[in-house]
Amino acid sequence: MQLSPLEIIRRESLQKLRDLGINPYPAEEFKTTATIKDIINNFEDFDGKEVVLAGRMMSRRIMGKASFAELKDASGRMQIYINRDEISSDDEGTMYNTVFKKLLDMGDIIGIKGEVFKTKVGEESVNVKELTVLSKSLRPLPVVKTDADGKVHDAFADNEQRYRRRYVDLIVNDHVKETFIKRTKITNAIREFFNTRGYLEVETPILQPIPGGAAARPFMTHHNALDMPLYLRIANELYLKRLIVGGFDAVYEFAKDFRNEGMDRTHNPEFTVMELYVAYKDYNWMMNMTEELLEKVSMDANGTTEVMIGENKVSFKAPYPRVPILEAIKIHTGYDVAGMDENELKEVCKKVGIEVDETMGVGKLIDELFGEKCEHHYIQPTFITDYPKEMSPLTKEHRTNPALTERFELMVNGKELANAYSELNDPIDQRERFEDQLKLTEKGDDEAMFIDQDFIRALEYGMPPTSGIGIGIDRLVMFMTNNASIQEVLFFPQMKPEKKAPSVELNDDEKVLFEMLKKVEKVLLNDLKTQSEFSNKKWDKTLKGLTKHNLAKVTNTNDGLFVELV
């Protein structure tokens, strides 16, 4: 492993601490008596009193025999004052002159005992009497600086690195932690809403013999002992409805689902969905409940029902408009597609510029029409209702129109947030719908549903009238925290394999150019040369060095010369 000069120095400091008889990674419990947030919010209660704190040293200002440092714990940041004569018990002042000034670094985790006070400029601080090394940091943190004009320099802002090294992101970017604290507030609000109504939180299988409950491409694995294929669940719907058959009146689950499909700013292959099923209810009741739930979530997370999502101010205050999907298509395309067959729908799609293929049935064609031409218009929460039967194989037939189903999707900021039904509980109808899906599979639709024979058997025992809903938790958190990317609300989003650092020795200029290329992978040669700000001679030498080490290559295309990583 090739170490940087700073990493080498830190390892040398680690050994020097041990040579002094200081264990840089002690095993015993370090008992704290307060948090930084407690002290700052209730300063009058702590003023002049002794406290014990632990956290990460984020900065320091050494000033002779006394210094200031910034301590960060899970609740916030605070200034600490370190005096040589207070923390050192020997004549040489080893704890201050050697340990604190020379062997500790930014990022090290320390414990302190001291007295709370306020400086002459009014800053809450702790006068340290004892200092304990709790964990030596061997890698330097990014040094984020704010100048006199308030401008931030050297911020840890590269998303590729932030998502890969979330632990560093959380240390140096305080606002990131706030996003995940708010995520927990959101899930807690949902749980509280359901639990006060007596609904039961349950768990259902992640490994399933049949990937049911949604139209999606699954991940597949193999169980060695049983010698059988298994799938990571794409939805937990069919298992939850089995529990309704079994006699529970209301069950819900926060489920990790998995879909082996594309990745983008709003989709991750592993995601969180909350699904709820309530017996003796229908989709009209579920719409009313959803409005009430989202009002509470918004208030608990943000203290208001109005939130900013991008540039849009979105209100989660009930009630929400209710628009039938075929009416929405008519409004936004000018075509009334009600009653159209597959060929007629394909013609409409072509007229409005939507590509079609032979695998697309009526349901998928209508889905494409709505998704491409209507969805983005619904910024404020809107229930899109009454989907055609072909789009909804698990949904009860509409009570007034047998061509439709009692289903709604909640659209917010042009995206689907929730999907809900009056659940299909007729086992004969359900089998026919599954068989229709099987025909789509035979046509080449790799997202069509499997036939779940055991689920049909469960329905044959009798399931009461039921309404169910699925809410995308990741997307809900994106909305409530005003984040445009799903990666911002997942601690550890799925990433492409990280490109390994070169095993060859690079000079400083080659390292700079290599790091620039890692961020873009492929770039116009002249653009990269301009960004590097190298002289012509240095540019030629540096680029030749990377190509010689087989780390980069230059390709000539119709669009110009490109440099890309090998």
Q: How far apart are CA 41 and CA 35, in angstroms?
A: 10
Percent of the chain surpassing pLDDT 70: 97
Count of residues making up the chain: 566
- Whether the pLDDT of residue 150 is over 80: the answer is no
Q: Are strands 50-63 and 66-73 parallel, antiparallel or unpaired?
A: antiparallel
How confident is the model over 347-375, as pLDDT tens digits?
Answer: 999 999 999 998 888 988 999 999 999 99
- Whether the pLDDT of residue 139 is over 90: the answer is yes
Q: In what order do the strands lie in the sheet with 466-472?
A: 200-201, 250-258, 270-279, 466-472, 415-422, 407-412, 382-385, 322-324
- Whether the pLDDT of residue 433 is over 90: the answer is no
φ/ψ of 385, rounded to 5, equals -120, 170
Which residue type does 391 have?
Answer: M
SS3 557: strand
- Tokens representing 341 are 């067959």
pLDDT band at 41 (very low <50, low <70, confident <90, very high): very high
- Whether the pLDDT of residue 566 is over 80: the answer is no
Residues 6+ apart with CB under 8 A from 298: 304, 305, 306, 307, 316, 480
Residues 268 and 478: beta-carbon distance below 8 Å: no
pLDDT band at 444 (very low <50, low <70, confident <90, very high): low
The pLDDT assigned to 459 comes to 97
Residues 398 and 388: beta-carbon distance below 8 Å: no
pLDDT band at 502 (very low <50, low <70, confident <90, very high): low
Residues 91 and 145: beta-carbon distance below 8 Å: no
The pLDDT assigned to 456 comes to 95
How confident is the model over 238-271, as pLDDT tens digits?
Answer: 999 999 999 999 999 999 999 999 889 899 999 9
SS3 236: coil
Q: How far apart are CA 252 and CA 547, in angstroms?
A: 56
Highest mean pLDDT among 285-289, 401-405, 426-430: 285-289
How confident is the model over 449-463, as pLDDT tens digits?
Answer: 678 899 999 999 999
The pLDDT assigned to 256 comes to 97
Mean pLDDT of the chain: 93
Ramachandran region, residue 456 (left: φ > 0; alpha: ψ -120 to 50; beta: rest): alpha
SS3 558: coil
Place of tokens 């590097």: 532
Q: Give mean pLDDT, residues 279-301.
A: 98
